[in-house]
């Protein structure tokens, strides 16, 4: 790259850094913010997978050992842990948690405030 072009590029970079960053406040659900279908389901599944990953790490298990305990193959567990869990139901992912001696509790109660969107699904993981 020519010297003049390098200086111009550096000046452009400095100018862009001086501009105020453009950002939006998220909704708390990145999948919804990206406009993906089934955003609530994807958020729940991702939270379950994070809990599963933490359990595996806390117990210092290899993916092979963890997969054996869950009853799936290591490549499948690797895919799940890397976020490729579309082919897995939330129920199946919850069953993976139970393989690590975790209780999964589902509570149904009336919503405090009425909204057009209806009820919501939340996930709370206890400390391991």
Question: Per-residue pLDDT tens for 60-90?
Answer: 999 999 999 999 999 999 999 999 998 999 9
CATH architecture classification, 38-101 = Orthogonal Bundle (1.10)
Place of tokens 């862009």: 16
User: From CA 48, how far away is CA 100, in angstroms rounded?
Assistant: 13
- C-alpha 66 chain-centroid distance: 19
Put simply, whether the predicted model's pTM sits higher than 0.85 gets the answer: no
Per-residue pLDDT for 91 more than 80? yes
As a whole number, the mean pLDDT across the chain is: 87
Residue 128 pLDDT grade (very low, low, confident, very high; cuts 50, 70, 90): low
> Exposed/middle/buried for 96, CB within 10 Å: 0-12, 13-18, 19+?
buried
């Amino acid at each position: 790259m020519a010297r003049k072009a390098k200086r111009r590029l550096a000046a452009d970079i400095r100018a862009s850094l001086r501009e105020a960053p453009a950002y939006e406040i998220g909704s708390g659900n990145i999948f919804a913010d990206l406009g993906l279908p089934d955003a609530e389901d994807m958020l729940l599944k991702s939270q379950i997978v994070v809990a599963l990953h933490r359990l595996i790490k806390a117990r210092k298990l290899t993916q092979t050992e963890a997969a054996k305990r869950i009853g799936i193959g290591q490549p499948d567990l690797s895919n799940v842990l890397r976020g490729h869990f579309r082919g897995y139901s939330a129920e199946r992912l919850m069953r993976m948690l139970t393989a690590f001696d975790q209780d999964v509790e589902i509570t149904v109660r009336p919503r405090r405030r009425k909204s057009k969107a209806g009820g919501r699904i939340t996930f709370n993981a206890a400390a391991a």
